Structure 1
């Protein structure tokens, strides 16, 4: 006689016990860090992002460089654009 028997719950487990569910690990995606912008006398600019010298069209850390301004860089990833600034917009000077 052949047959299979399946139990919905482990009969040897404590009453009411449930197997722990596995947590899905989501990786945090960190925005690249803009460290410097370099422009020549012809206004051609490149940027130092995450210790790499990049130009428009190049990628760094999964982000594509869209536009480089003297004080910021626009990058794109997954259809979303982000602005990386050299300096925070909310700098407070106290005297």
Structure 2
């Protein structure tokens, strides 16, 4: 059981890094540091979009429109951090005893 929890924690950590990388990339594109005209940047961008959009879509449907400010990645990261802390505190203690 602890091995399964370890795998879940690693997956959650990878997902959180993907979200952080996508947020940084979106800032760089928004401030014209990187251009989506570049094929490498565009392929990275579309790959990250395909990975994160299924996670973002249900949360975006719940949140109100905020005039260009997207808080969805922040909310997803908070949910991931909450799940990680629940797994570490409660699931590991139940497995060990």
Q: Normalised by the shorter chain, which TM-score bucket? A: under 0.3
Q: Under a length normalisation based on structure 1, what TM-score does the superposition of the two structures give?
A: 0.27
Which has the larger Rg?
1
The structure carrying a bigger strand percent of its residues is: 1
Q: Which has the higher helix share?
A: 2
TM-score under structure 2 length normalisation: 0.27
Q: Which has the higher contact order (CA 8 A, sep 6+)?
A: 2
